[in-house]
Amino acid sequence: MKTWLYGIVALVVVAVGAFLIFAPGMAERSMNKVVPVALKITPEARALHAQLQIADMHADSLLWKRDLLARSTRGQVDLPRLIEGNVALQVFSSVTKTPKGQNYDANSADTDNITTLAIADLQPVRTWNSLLQRSLWHATKLDRFAAASEGKLRVIHTPADLDALLAARAKGEKITGGMLSIEGLQDLEGRLANLDVLHAAGFRMAGMAHFFDNEVAGSMHGEKKGGLTPLGRQVVARMERIGMIVDIAHSSHATIAEILKIATRPVVASHGGVQATCKVNRNLTDDEIRGVAATGGVIGIGYWDAAVCGTSPIQVAAAIAHARDVGGIDHVGLGSDFDGAVTTGFDTSQLAAVTQALMDRGFSRADIAKVMGGNVLRVVRAGIVPKG
| Dist CA 351 CA 372 (whole Å) | 9
Collapsed DSSP state (helix, strand, coil) of residue 239: helix
Burial of 35 (0-12, 13-18, 19+ CB in 10 A): exposed
pTM confidence score = 0.93
pLDDT values of the chain reduced to their tens digit, one per residue, 388 residues: 555 554 554 444 444 444 444 455 557 767 899 999 999 999 999 999 999 999 999 999 999 999 999 999 999 999 999 999 999 999 999 999 999 999 999 999 999 999 999 999 999 999 999 999 999 999 999 999 999 999 999 999 999 999 999 999 999 999 999 999 999 999 999 999 999 999 999 999 999 999 999 999 999 999 999 999 999 999 999 999 999 999 999 999 999 999 999 999 999 999 999 999 999 999 999 999 999 999 999 999 999 999 999 999 999 999 999 999 999 999 999 999 999 999 999 999 999 999 999 999 999 999 999 999 999 999 999 999 998 7
Q: Which amino acid, 365?
A: R
Other CB atoms closer than 10 Å to residue 202's CB: what's the count?
Answer: 18
Domains of the chain (ranges; CATH) run 32-383 (3.20.20.140)
Closest Cα to residue 221, out of 375, 370, 325, 99? Answer: 99
